Structures are given as structure tokens and as C-alpha cells.
Chain A
Amino acid sequence: MPFIPHTADDIAAMLATIGVASIDDLFDEIPTELKIGELAAIPTGMAEMDIARLMQSRARADGQPVCFIGAGAYDHHIPAAVWQIATRGEFYSAYTPYQAEASQGTLQVLYEFQSMMIALTGLDVSNASLYDGASALAEAVLMAVRANRKTRSIRVLVPRTLHPAYRRTVHAIVAAQGIELIEVPFDHQGGHTPVEQMDAIAGTDDFAAVIINQPNFFGVLEDVDALTDWAHARHALVIAVVNPIALALLSPPGDWGTVGADIACGEAQPLGMPLSSGGPYAGFLCCKQEYVRQLPGRIAGQTLDLDDKPGFTLTLQAREQHIRRGKATSNICTNQGLLVTAATIHMALLGAEGLERVAAACYANTRRLTAMLCEIPGVEPVFERPIFHEQALCLPAPTADLLRTLAADAVLGGFDLSQDYPELGQALLICVTELRTENEMRDYADKLARILATQT
């Protein structure tokens, strides 16, 4: 019996100890009419060698095309040590560290992760993760509405330059609580959100929070200082949505404007998590000290033991559902602990200089491919403002068709912007990480040129 150690002797002895004749007798409190027979639609069991063969053939079936898609998930180098250590049984098969004395390994990792995230974001405290970047933003919105006692507003300004899937996720999670999400249009030349657009949309209304993403979904860099000061002048909290790799280069949310953003969140996937079709990743959420009691999710803290020796434990648990039930800051229980373990090891291995080198390589590669693609007639950047590692391009033919043809030739050419942003026409968002080589970029440019040439 797979994964069940009982021998016939064990079963007989155990039934005798309980005082029943058969295992079926142990289910005698369940109404008979509810019991089912065989689950006919489930296939019969497989040996490990057979399921291995099946999974290997399926993994191969997905191919390994060369990827120029970013749009919220990024193909970065992951040091071999990261997952070899993270999948050690002691990390992999441990539970949530509620019994602190038996979980010092996991708890110290969480504390180190929190320390690294506040170093990157420039804020005061970090939690120990949420499900992903988009759900972390939804929690940040709920947190800001609870925390903003000055405006007591339930309105939140959301730039249209924010990732479309993030906007949809936030809406799905916060709408039932009556929170109003108000979209701010972007400047079509710059691809950014100017302060004048904020003024035009905001009028004289009050807001609980303003979301600012840096870089934005188009890869474009926003004027974060001006936007932050604009929000604070109206007593709205600032929620920063940031890419942790970009933070190696860019001004951290804690330094934005005169007094800094109040909350920062984002997707930790670029810190050592494989693309893996979209998950598991991890969301991070940091804030200023004054909002720590509104921060959702688990938080590790340092304390002392009976011998005054330092140790780690989950703390401020009175915010959480297992203590506070219906009055908790969130319903979250299970988070993304193992991914946090990977991210912590990843950040230790890369360090600040390593992350900066990764960011700089992505920066340079994206400009390199942009230059190659813009040699093709009809291909040009959509926006004028500086970018980080993603670039929106106008195309002379329908984006979806081009991407399909490229994919058939093992190139994933980018993200089709025309669905979510029809106002941009035939537009494409490319991303070139440090993993892409000169040859891969040249190959992409040649293939796109050839496809466009045959179409005209």
C-alpha cells in the first residue's frame, strides 16, 4: 500500500486494541446511505517509475521556447544552492512555526527575510509573505483603508499603468467590503501617470490611498516623488508596488517624496522562484512602523528564552485569524513560507551588488533588443520616458498573429498589449532578462523581420 506502513499483524492487533472487528466498523457513525462505492472515474494507482515516465513526457511536451515575456513574472538565474537547500526535508516538510522552540530554523529564515525586505524597500517592518504580488496589493489596499484614520475614506486611486491582472485581483478581493477603486488614466506620450491626471480625476474628493507602481506595467519609470507628495498633501496613504530586482537600482519606497511611501508590496518571484506557470510565488508587504498592527499575515520577531538566550517566535498574533477570528486583519493562514526560504537564500547569495548586476544586465539587454527590433520598418517604442527592463513597442501588424507565428518557431515574443490597452493599437511588451544572450536576441529580431517581410 503506497505510503501506508501497516502489516496484516499490525492491523489485527490495532483493531483488537480498539475493540472492533474491522476497519469498516470505525465508520459506523456515518449514515449508511452516504457511503460511496468505488470512485470509478479515478484511474488505478501508478508506481513511481510509471508516473515519472508520464510526467517527463508532459514536461517535454511544453518545450522550452526562448522567453521574452515579462509582464509580472521574470526569467532570472537561480543559483543551484537555492532549491537544493530549500527542498531539504527539514524546511520542505515542516509546519507553520507555531511551536517556536521546534522551528528556530524556519523562524530565523523569516526574520532574515523581513530584514532583507526592509533593506530593499526602505520601510520599517515587513511581514513573512502573502500569496503573490497581486493578492499582497489587495491586502495593502484593505490595510490602508483600515489605517487611514485621517480621511476615513473608502476610495483608492489605481493607475491604469498598473498590471491589468493586479487591478482585477484587487477588485475581486476588496469589492465586497464596499471599497471604491478609481482608475487614473495615463499620459500617452510618456506612458506614465502625471500629477495633473491625478488632479483631474481626484477633484475635491478624499482618498484612503493612492497606488503608485515603479516601474509601471509598461516598464516606464513614474515620477514617484511628485506622486507621493501629491497623495500625502491630500492625507491619502501611499501604496508602492515595486519589483525587488529594480529596487537594487531605483529609489526605495521609503525615500519617495518628502516622507516616503507608507506601504510597499510586490511580487517576490524574481528572487529565486522559477516561472512555473504562475506559481507558487510569494507576495511581500512592508510598511512604516506606525502601521504594524494593521499589517496582515505572519510576522517573526526576536525575543529571549528562559536562559535569556535570543530566539525567534511568531509575534503580534493578536492580529491574526486563529486568535482574533472575525476581527482579524485578514483571513490569511497558510502563506508562502518555502518560497520565502528560497528568496532569503537567493538574496544572501546575490547580495546588493549581485542584484544590481542582474538589474543592470536586464536594463542593458532590453535596450539592446529594442534597438535591434526598431531597425525593422514599422517597429518603434510606444512611449518616450525611460524604462527599466520592459519596453512597449508599436508593431505594423496585429500583435496576436505575430506572437503566434513566433511561438511556432520557439520564440515567446512578449505580451500582447492590445487586449488590455486597445488605445495603444497593435502593441507589444517585451522583457529581456540577464539570461537572454546576444544570439537569442538576434534570432528574435531576424525572425520578426522575416515574418513582417512576408506579410507586406
Chain B
Amino acid sequence: MLIQDHSRPGRRATAQAPFNLPEMTDIPAGLRRCARPILPEVSEMQTVRHYTRLSQKNFSIDTQFYPLGSCTMKYNPRACNSLAMLPGFLARHPLAPDSHGQGVLACLYELQEMLREITGMSAVSLAPSAGAQGEFAGVAMIRAYHLARGDHARTEILVPDAAHGTNPASAVMCGFKVREIPTGADGDVDLTALNTAVGPQTAGIMLTNPSTVGVFDRNIQSIARTVHAAGGLLYYDGANLNAILGKVRPGDMGFDVIHMNLHKTFSTPHGGGGPGAGPVGVSQRLEPYLPVPLVACDDGQYRWLNECERPDSIGRLTAFGGNMGILLRAYVYARMLGREGMGRVADFATLNANYLLARLRSAGFEVAYPARRASHEFIITLKRESKELGVTAMDFAKRLLDYGYHAPTTYFPLLVPECLLIEPTETESREELDGFVEAMIAIRREAEEDPDKLKDAPYSLPVRRLDDVRAARLLDLAWKSAEAEHG
């Protein structure tokens, strides 16, 4: 039942709006609405009950194991939320003077500096609102760098075939052509193909390391040398930074620009799809182009640096310069971990992934890159189950929901057939991982006995399997009032 279906003419949550309704005399009738918009007319309790019940129809980290590969669904500490929502932080207007923002600016400045140290880059901007906006900013800086040197020939960005879809999409938004580089059989970038692809047209390469196939590219230094020798720059997609936090730094690997997903590595909430935060870090030569605003500190006084102080910046990505409340959550998380906690994230994320891989392998599941060490995530392929039993990775995924586990990432990366990309994260206990292995074994047994049982899953959720094809063909994207529908 939709909130709109609870609506009754004349009902209101009266306490939530001003009691007076002044006359509005000087707005010409032609500019006024003819009729009120049709919004729900409901009481406060109906609203609270409706949305509380809706929340109960969700899987979430707070209620379920959520081993989604490349998404880093780790525990979101509650303190990060309550401290970012202190009234002083919430009430501050974005255009309030710096004199009335020293507290929030101190947090943001320290976060900026910590991220710089963690990534080994020479400067960081917190401005991008999410990973994809960080990618856009990063590629825009690569573009600005080449253009500032009068090098107009660099029209191409190289992207491995295993990359996230945002990589090619961001490169295209910045006006580049995209050339795909294949992944070798061992999971590393195909160096021969890379050597053939680079040239005077290469603006840069976008890499995720560890990659989305869940292995650390052992040739990263050689890749950096090849691309730099051709005059291109290296972009680091920080989606998998959790795997190497406090262990290895993208700056030391030779990357010129990096974005981080704070909603992954720094445990800010995913919120059912956002908000995120996608700060960018750069090597010295890209520093002038960082997106605004930046935070500066002179003699203990913090201030924003905007377009006038940063004339070569690629500019502004949102009206007010970023998801400050999310940055505050990441700041609290980073301070709680501290220097000794950073490396532990990578240690235990990697331990959990390799343990889960070892257990699934000994249970007879096929690992996509058996000769390789897993990073914080790994791929199993269900191509044998698909061939012999007729059940797909999607069927496994849907049946896992009935067992109380969120499904791993399915059908990504595209180069491995019937794949599940599994990322347990460091915050899950051994018992939870064991439970997941037992569920996988039980589901395979079901597939052997009665494959249709998987095809029709899930059974125990608020809805059975949904018809996506119907959703796209018979578009129903909004509730319509009875009047709108009939007249």
C-alpha cells in the first residue's frame, strides 16, 4: 500500500506546519498555481507507521550479512552518524562566514590531510559527491593538464574490460574516446595489449587495483612506466581501496590521480543508494586543477578556497561543494581507527576474503582465478552448475535471500561467466562467514535435487521474483490520482 493510498481529504499532520496562512496579495494570479498539488493527506502516526513498515522490507547491514563485491558493505558505526548530526553542524548555512565554521572546517581540513597521507598523493579535494563524480573530476583534471601544456592530441582514455561502468561513462562525459584493454588469463592487465594501445593519443588509463576480479595487479609499476613513457597519466579508481588501506599507497604505485569512495572504505552509510562522497587526490602536477572548494589552514585559522583563490581549478561540481555531513562521518571513522586501525582494515578484509574463498573452494565451488591470492574480494563461477543443473548465478543469488543473506554481486565483471563477486569485509565474524558457506552448500544441494526450487526463489521475502522486463515495457513510474487516471 502506497502512502498515497492512505490519503483522506482534509486529514493533516497539523503540528508540522505554521498555524497561520497569511494572504498573498502581490503575486499575480497568472503566476499562481490553479490547484493544490495532489500530495498525501495523512496523519503523523500514519506516516510514521507506514515508513517504519517500509523500512522492515529492506535488507541492510544492520540486519543481514551483505557480501556485495566491490561495494564494501561494512558496519557503519553509529557514533559517526550521531556526531555528524550534532545540532551545531546541522544548523550551519553553507554560505555562513568562515568565522562561524571553524569547527566543521577543522574536521574537513584534518580529513583532507589524513586522506593525503593514506593515499600518498600530494593534495586532496573533498568536493566530489560520490565515486562517479570523483572520476569525472579526475579525468577532467587529466584533460586540463594536457590542454595547459598545449597537447591537444590526447583524445583517448584506456580502460580495462573489467572496470566499473562508471569509468568509461566518466571519460565520455569529459569528452574522451574510450579504448578497452583486455584482462589476461591470470587476472592482470594484458601488457602486450597495453603496449599496443598506448601512444601520443593516450590521455591516461583508469585502473582499479586490486581489480574487480579481486587480485592485485603485480605489474602495476610496469604499467605506470609504460603509460608515463607515452605521456599519459594514471587514474586510480578507489572502489577497492579497502583491500590495501594502510598497506600500499596509490601514490607510491605511480598514480597521478585517485578518487576514494568514503561510503565504502570509510564506512559512511550507503543509505539505499547514497549519499556518498568521492574525494580526489592528485600528484603535484595536477594540484592546480583540483575541484573547488578546498580547505586551507593559516596559523590555526581555517578557510575555504574557492574559484578566485584557485583560478586553474576544473571548477565546482555542486552548488555548495560537497556532502559535508558524509565527510564528517568519515572523519569520525578515521579518527576512531587511527593509524593503527587503518592497516587492520586491509588485514582483516583480506583474511576474511581468503578464508571464505578457501572454504567455498573446499566445498567444491569453482574459483575464477585459482592460482591467485584473493584481495578483499574474489570471484566464484557457477558455470558448471549452470551447465549441469540449469541454475544460474541469479538463481543462487535469489535463493540466498531466503537464507537471510544478501546476494553477492552477480554478473560483474562481465568477463567471467555466471559469476558471483564476493566481498565479506573486515567487520564480519568467522561464524557469519561459516553460515554463508553452509547456505551455499545447502543451495547447491537443492539445485541438484530440484532446480526449479531455485528458479522460483525467493519465497520468504515481501515479494517473489519480480518481472523486470514487464517493468521496462509497461512503464509505471508514479502513482496517479483517480482523476488523473480517468480524465
A and B are interacting partners? yes
- Contact, CB under 8 Å: A313 / B468: yes
Interface segment, one of B82-90, B192-200, B441-449: B82-90
- Contact, CB under 8 Å: A111 / B314: no
B1-16 interface with A by 8 A CB criterion: 2-4, 12-13, 15-16
- Contact, CB under 8 Å: B351 / A23: yes
- Contact, CB under 8 Å: A104 / B13: no
- Contact, CB under 8 Å: A34 / B248: yes
Q: Contacts A48-B79, A59-B88, A62-B89; is A95 near B13 (CB within 8 Å)?
A: no
| CB < 8 Å A-B pair total | 678
Cβ–Cβ < 8 Å partners of B397 in chain A: 99
Q: Contacts A129-B274, A354-B13; is A58 near B59 (CB within 8 Å)?
A: no
Cβ–Cβ < 8 Å partners of B373 in chain A: 26-29
- Contact, CB under 8 Å: A128 / B273: yes
User: Interface 1/0s, chain A 154-177, versus B by CB < 8 A?
Assistant: 000000000101101101110011
Interchain CB contact (< 8 A) of A334 among B113, B273, B412: B273
Interface segment, one of A65-73, A230-238, A373-381, A442-450: A65-73
User: Interface 1/0s, chain A 274-289, versus B by CB < 8 A?
Assistant: 1111111110000000
B383-409 interface with A by 8 A CB criterion: 397-398, 401, 406-407
State the Cβ distance, B307 to closest chain A Cβ, in Å.
7
- Contact, CB under 8 Å: B16 / A350: yes
Q: Contacts A221-B27, A249-B27, A315-B471; is A255 near B34 (CB within 8 Å)?
A: yes
Q: Contacts A91-B55, A248-B37; is A303 near B218 (CB within 8 Å)?
A: no
Residue in A closest to B47 when the chains form the complex, CB atoms: A348
Give the CA-CA distance A278 to B322 in the complex, in Å: 7
- Contact, CB under 8 Å: A6 / B429: yes
Interface segment, one of A182-190, A201-209, A360-368, A390-398: A360-368
Give the CA-CA distance A51 to B329 in the complex, in Å: 11
B209-261 interface with A by 8 A CB criterion: 215-216, 218, 220-221, 244, 246-249, 252-253, 261
- Contact, CB under 8 Å: B477 / A93: no
B34, B38, B74, B428 interface centre (most CB from chain A within 10 Å): B38
Give the CA-CA distance A104 to B87 in the complex, in Å: 32
Interchain CB contact (< 8 A) of B461 among A41, A96, A102: A102
- Contact, CB under 8 Å: B348 / A6: yes
- Contact, CB under 8 Å: B95 / A91: no
User: Interface 1/0s, chain A 217-240, versus B by CB < 8 A?
Assistant: 000010011000000000000000
- Contact, CB under 8 Å: B75 / A3: yes
The answer, yes or no, to whether A126 is at the interface (CB within 8 Å) is yes
- Contact, CB under 8 Å: B247 / A93: no
- Contact, CB under 8 Å: B55 / A132: no
Cβ–Cβ < 8 Å partners of A347 in chain B: 39-40
The answer, yes or no, to whether B464 is at the interface (CB within 8 Å) is yes
**Can you list 17 residue pairs at the A/B interface with Cβ under 8 Å?**
A61-B102, A65-B96, A79-B16, A94-B59, A131-B323, A168-B316, A172-B315, A279-B318, A280-B129, A315-B475, A325-B169, A328-B172, A330-B169, A334-B261, A334-B276, A341-B51, A350-B16
Beyond the given pairs A19-B358, A35-B247, A165-B320, 18 more chain A to chain B contacts, judged by CB atoms under 8 angstroms and listed by A's residue number, are A5-B429, A15-B351, A18-B355, A34-B220, A36-B247, A51-B335, A62-B104, A69-B93, A69-B95, A92-B76, A100-B463, A131-B323, A134-B318, A304-B467, A324-B165, A338-B274, A344-B3, A434-B18
State the Cβ distance, B325 to closest chain A Cβ, in Å.
5
Give the CA-CA distance A302 to B474 in the complex, in Å: 9
B74, B221, B317, B407 interface centre (most CB from chain A within 10 Å): B317
Give the CA-CA distance A403 to B131 in the complex, in Å: 37
The answer, yes or no, to whether B50 is at the interface (CB within 8 Å) is yes
- Contact, CB under 8 Å: B68 / A133: no
Give the CA-CA distance A404 to B96 in the complex, in Å: 10
The answer, yes or no, to whether A45 is at the interface (CB within 8 Å) is yes
Give the CA-CA distance A92 to B75 in the complex, in Å: 11
Q: Contacts A26-B351, A315-B472, A341-B272; is A99 near B372 (CB within 8 Å)?
A: no
The answer, yes or no, to whether A46 is at the interface (CB within 8 Å) is yes
The answer, yes or no, to whether B439 is at the interface (CB within 8 Å) is no
- Contact, CB under 8 Å: B44 / A81: yes
5 closest A-B pairs by beta carbon, nearest first, are A45-B338, A278-B320, A89-B62, A338-B271, A172-B315
State the Cβ distance, A163 to closest chain B Cβ, in Å.
7
The answer, yes or no, to whether A101 is at the interface (CB within 8 Å) is yes
- Contact, CB under 8 Å: A358 / B275: no
A25-54 interface with B by 8 A CB criterion: 26-31, 34-36, 38-48, 51-52, 54
- Contact, CB under 8 Å: B347 / A23: yes
Cβ–Cβ < 8 Å partners of B352 in chain A: 14
Cβ–Cβ < 8 Å partners of A173 in chain B: 136, 173, 317
Interchain CB contact (< 8 A) of A96 among B48, B95, B270: B270
Give the CA-CA distance A364 to B334 in the complex, in Å: 45
- Contact, CB under 8 Å: B36 / A348: no
The answer, yes or no, to whether A120 is at the interface (CB within 8 Å) is yes
- Contact, CB under 8 Å: A102 / B401: yes
Interchain CB contact (< 8 A) of B273 among A11, A36, A96, A324: A96
The answer, yes or no, to whether A144 is at the interface (CB within 8 Å) is no
B112-135 interface with A by 8 A CB criterion: 113-114, 117-118, 120, 129-133, 135
Q: Contacts A3-B74, A101-B463, A279-B320; is A358 near B270 (CB within 8 Å)?
A: no
A341-357 interface with B by 8 A CB criterion: 341, 344-345, 347-357
Interchain CB contact (< 8 A) of A45 among B40, B171, B336: B336
Interchain CB contact (< 8 A) of A325 among B26, B102, B165: B165
- Contact, CB under 8 Å: A89 / B60: yes
- Contact, CB under 8 Å: A111 / B2: yes
The answer, yes or no, to whether A75 is at the interface (CB within 8 Å) is yes
Residue in A closest to B373 when the chains form the complex, CB atoms: A29
State the Cβ distance, B90 to closest chain A Cβ, in Å.
4
B138-174 interface with A by 8 A CB criterion: 140, 143, 164-166, 168-174
Cβ–Cβ < 8 Å partners of A335 in chain B: 130, 273-275
Cβ–Cβ < 8 Å partners of B252 in chain A: 34, 36
- Contact, CB under 8 Å: A278 / B94: yes
The answer, yes or no, to whether B184 is at the interface (CB within 8 Å) is no
Give the CA-CA distance A321 to B237 in the complex, in Å: 15
- Contact, CB under 8 Å: B93 / A176: no
The answer, yes or no, to whether B285 is at the interface (CB within 8 Å) is no
- Contact, CB under 8 Å: A334 / B130: yes
The answer, yes or no, to whether A294 is at the interface (CB within 8 Å) is no
Residue in B closest to A14 when the chains form the complex, CB atoms: B355
- Contact, CB under 8 Å: B88 / A60: yes
- Contact, CB under 8 Å: A276 / B90: yes
B303-359 interface with A by 8 A CB criterion: 307, 314-326, 328, 332, 334-344, 346-348, 350-352, 354-355, 358-359
Residue in B closest to A17 when the chains form the complex, CB atoms: B358
Interchain CB contact (< 8 A) of B48 among A13, A71, A81: A81
